[in-house]
Structure 1
Amino acid sequence: MFAVAATHTSPASHTSLRQHVRRAVGRDHSPLCRPLDRAYSRLAAVQALTVLAALALAAVAALLAFRVETHTAEQIARHRHLVTAVTTGPAQADNPRVGSARDHAPARWTYPAGPGTGTIPVPEGTRAGTAVPIGLDDAGTPIRAPKATEQIASDAVLIGLGTVSVLAVVTEGVFALRRRTLERRADTSWEAAWERVEPGWSGRR
């Protein structure tokens, strides 16, 4: 996803990351090391750090999402009460043209807060007068079951992957622009050097 990339015009195409870091901090004292080489190495070092930072942010985002969703599920479970409702009509799909795994039906139920009525999800083909277990909150309003731990973990992983993907697109665009700038500088520097060397090399002096 992220990569310490170097194009064919880069003067540090086959330089290891360790060498990039040494050069970026000014510890490469080779007489062949040019300022442009150091600029490429700084870019490569920053890009490597960005990879680590992106992975860390993705892990934090995933962990935070997992904790928040787990807390929400615990709160729902703490205030959710199972009662038995009785359907007062047959099951009907929300959209008959599409069809669904679970239909809905009108129903009534009894709860300490008082009797209640409403539309509840039921299995396909449920008839009127069928007893169906439902979950109610403290006020007697139907609520869905809390997410299972497996679903919460799956959602957290997706959030982590989404975070990495977004950071990858943004940072890769920034680094691509910077690499393009350095490549133009490399081309300009090479052309200027060639103009000085070529007449003597070709014998046109």
Structure 2
Amino acid sequence: MTGLLGWSSRWLRLLRAPSPGRNALYRPVDRARHRLTLLLLGLLALAVAASVATAAVVLRSAHAEAQAAAAHLRPVAAVVLSAPEAPPGPAVSPGPVPGHGRAQVSWTALSGRPVTALVFVAIGTQPGATIGLWVNDADVPTHAPRTDAELRIGAFTVGVGVMIGLSLFLAALHMVAAHHLQHHAEALWEAEWERVEPWWSGRTPGPPG
């Protein structure tokens, strides 16, 4: 996080700085750095747009899938037939849930026939109590449909993940490009120093031509 904040602050300082074209002290490598910063800022803006678009697409797709799944689900009122415990055999309802045990419950199918299943029920539920269940077309207990809040959280998480991934990629790209420019600047400085050093140290009578 500190690295990203420092990266952003350097960009803001460069944007507030005078344009390289109007500053005679700017070297060609400084102009290249400025252009690189502007390019990366543009790419970062595109990354934000891509993240928002991805989240929107994921949310729209999740809504469509949830609606299609909800068309095959229905709530039922099931009567608890036994106290919650841990009988042999797996429960068919989603679970396990802390504070819940498996119990036999019964409800009426759309065809009118009674259906019995082993599901997870809150500990302390007495036989004869009525609980709510979600079942599919085959009258098998299943998870409740996902809520809008869950769908939005999922889409937001995907969007944030895309943004983080693209930001890390751009940060790495910036580091590589900045290293290349720095290496180039050092090479230019060394070449210029080799030209000026004899005059600066007094080994030659006049400044370099």
Tell me if TM exceeds 0.5.
Answer: yes
Per-residue CA distance 1:152-195 (angstroms, 9 max, x = gap) = 22222222111111112222112211111111111111111112
- Structure 1 residue 87: deviation in Å? 2.6
Give the match for residue 36 of structure 2: 43
Query: CA 1:30 to 1:70, structure 2 compared with 1: closer, same or farther past 3 Å?
Result: same
* Equivalent position SS for 1:86: strand
Give the match for residue 106 of structure 2: 108
Instruction: State which of 65, 73, 87 in structure 1 corresponds to 2:58.
Output: 65
Query: CA 1:177 to 1:102, structure 2 compared with 1: closer, same or farther past 3 Å?
Result: farther
- The 1-side partners of 2:31 and 2:66 are apart by 52
- Structure 1 residue 145: deviation in Å? 1.5
Give the match for residue 75 of structure 1: 68
* Equivalent position SS for 1:128: coil
1:173-188 to structure 2, matched below 5 A, reads: 173-188=172-187
* Equivalent position SS for 1:16: helix
What amino acid maps onto 1:71 in structure 2? A
Query: CA 1:146 to 1:18, structure 2 compared with 1: closer, same or farther past 3 Å?
Result: farther
* Equivalent position SS for 2:103: strand
1:157-168 to structure 2, matched below 5 A, reads: 157-168=156-167
- The 2-side partners of 1:158 and 1:31 are apart by 47
Per-residue CA distance 1:114-164 (angstroms, 9 max, x = gap) = 443323232232233432121222222222221222222222222211111
Asked if structure 2 preserves the Cα contact closer than 8 Å seen for 1:17 and 1:45, the reply is: no
| TM superposition score normalised by structure 2 | 0.75
Unaligned runs of 5+ in 1: 7-11
Unaligned runs of 5+ in 2: 91-95, 205-209
1:1-205 to structure 2, matched below 5 A, reads: 1=4, 3=7, 15-16=14-15, 28=21, 33-92=26-85, 100=98, 102-113=100-111, 114-205=113-204
Give the share of equivalent positions with the same residue, in percent.
Answer: 27
May I ask how many residue pairs the two structures share in their alignment? 191
- Structure 1 residue 46: deviation in Å? 1.8
* Equivalent position SS for 2:118: strand
- The 1-side partners of 2:82 and 2:105 are apart by 7
What amino acid maps onto 2:186 in structure 1? D
